[in-house]
Structure 1
Amino acid sequence: MTLTLMKTRLGVAQLPAIARIPGWSKRCDSFVSITRTASELSIVCPQAVIPAKLKQESGYRIVRVEGQLDFALVGILASITAPLAQAGVSIFTVSTYDTDYVMFKDDQREQALAALRAAGHTVRIEE
């Protein structure tokens, strides 16, 4: 499988479940994922746009699975997450209609990329 390490450093912000989707999240042109549940509103986006006062985790890098994935495919995320787990890399995943994304802390970047390559994945670096 071909994966692309995106150049943007991401953060995950947590807001109250009843919060409105903030305007700053609309300035995210490279990647943004907004998820609301009964207990929270989570926003994954470039860490530079997240206000410092918010509860957040930052310093993430993300790999994108290249190509559109059919919903009938099985084991795509497992083929990525299992080698990362074996290498001791903590992850956070986001899926869209077209594909999957796997995030890990930037300080584990080399460890993560080595594990993915050892598992047979091609990893490209976004310029």
Structure 2
Amino acid sequence: MLGLADIRDWLKTLNNKADNYYIGKLDNKNDKSIGVYQGKNTISPRITLGGRENSSYEVKAITILIHWNLNARETEEFSYKLYQELLKQNSVVINNHRIKMIKLITNEPIDIGTDEKNVYERVIDLEFYYERNER
């Protein structure tokens, strides 16, 4: 299984660095944070002809929340750089799963406005297509 914590830890290895990385709730909502959440789009189980044991890959839908700072431009720029870095990924292995493809769902990070402290936020929705290790 490819988990949220696995993806969070992988994001830490990329060039665009945040100060904080989370799964689930953003503790204290610190600036310059990235949160990794289960994606909202529903994907049915992948079962091939012949049964589950013949399925070679799974799909993990993810939403990345970029909770950045009080500057809309800086938030947009960081989010775009992260998006571009995700686009360029190849030969990725996360938690012993070879990632066949990272599919970005939108053509850019989506502006979702500000939180209650006026910190600008954006989201990147994506899907990880990864090889199953368990059969």
TM-score > 0.5, shorter chain as reference: no
TM-score bucket (shorter structure): 0.3 to 0.5
Higher RCO by CA contacts (8 Å cutoff, separation 6 or greater): 1
TM-score, L = length of structure 2: 0.33
Which of the two has higher C-alpha Rg? 2
TM-score, L = length of structure 1: 0.35
